[in-house]
Amino acid sequence: MYNLARPGTIEVIAGVMFSGKSEELLRRVRRALIARRRVQVFKSHLDERYGGIYRVSSHSGIEFEALPVDSAAEIMRQTRSDTELVAIDEAQFLNSEIVEVVGALAGRGIRVIVAGTDTDFRGEPFGYMGTLMAIAEQVDKLSAICVVCGDLACRNQRLVDGKPARYDSPTIQVGGSEAYEARCRRCHRVPRADEDQTALL
Ligand code: ADP
Ligand code: ZN
């Protein structure tokens, strides 16, 4: 049954990699479990960085697994009718339907928490995170620490074979090693084709 008495809400936790989005998401989930809310956690499984599924465990020993999903429609299909909180991690990888799905879930009275990286390695908007931030009741934008200078980091630095990735480098890297760092605006490097790549490696 949909609970029409209770208004749903959308909360977005945005920011760069390493800014603590997953930690904050899990903190909110843990507190909801303490409040005995019925919770479901989803995670885009296009994110393979940490080897897939994570678990959320409650103090009472109940373990929560994040359900891996590859589309927003799957979140809609898998959300049970009695669920009170839906948490979605790595939402930047989900297709445009995520906007509609999140709105529909909140419309049913569900508290929806969406976490994701809101800018890509170029510093440009990532997926539908910006739209989700616009339709949310609450937005928290977290920062990491720049690994070069120690200031607050608001950018994802992509490195391919230890060098800053070019603006037009393919999103999926074939061969070569790829890594990401948190950096501030000043230390962030995205060379264009004709630029020197040696500075701030
Ligand atoms: P996100 O989900 O935003 O990628 P996580 O919640 O997975 O972030 O991880 C946040 C944790 O990462 C921090 O609490 C800290 O321990 C660690 N960390 C590693 N590198 C950095 C960095 N450059 N800046 C801030 N935290 C970092
Ligand atoms: Zn810096």
Same structural domain, 156 and 57: no
- The C-alpha atoms of residue 124 and residue 116 are separated, in whole angstroms, by 14
* Residue 52 counted as domain residue: yes
Residue 189: CB atoms within 10 Å: 21
Question: 40-91: per-residue pLDDT in tens?
Answer: 999 987 655 444 456 555 555 555 678 999 999 999 999 999 999 999 999 9
CA of 79 to the centre of ligand 1 (A): 29
Is the domain of 16 the same as that of 96?
Answer: yes
Distance CA 141, CA 122 (A): 18
pLDDT band of residue 5 (cuts 50, 70, 90) is low
Specify the CATH number for the domain of residue 164. Answer: 3.30.60.20
Atom 17 in ligand 1: which residue has the minimum CA distance?
Answer: 18
Q: Which listed ligand is nearest to 19 at the C-alpha?
A: 1
DSSP 137: S
Lookup: tokens for 20 = 């603590």
Same-domain status, 128 and 157: no
pLDDT per residue as tens digits for the range 8-20: 999 999 999 999 9
pLDDT-derived band at 6 (thresholds 50, 70, 90) equals confident
Rounded CA separation 116/32 (Å): 20
188 in the same domain as 131? no
Per the structure, the complete domain to which residue 160 belongs is given by: 152-199
CA dist., res. 38 & res. 84, Å (int): 5
Catalytic residues: 90
pLDDT at 30: 92
Q: Tell which of 100, 115, 142 closes a domain.
A: 142
- Tell me which residue has its CA closest to atom 10 in ligand 1: 20
What CATH number is associated with residue 21? 3.40.50.300
**pLDDT above 60 (res 28):** yes
Q: What is the mean pLDDT of the chain?
A: 88
Residue 4 lies in a domain: no
Q: Pick the residue whose CA is nearest to atom 5 on ligand 1.
A: 20
Distances in whole angstroms, Cα of residue 9 to Cα of each of 84, 87, 170: 11, 12, 36
Question: CB under 6 Å to ligand 1: residues?
Answer: 15, 17-23, 144-145, 147, 182
Write down the pTM of the prediction. Answer: 0.89
Q: How far apart are CA 119 and CA 136, in angstroms?
A: 17
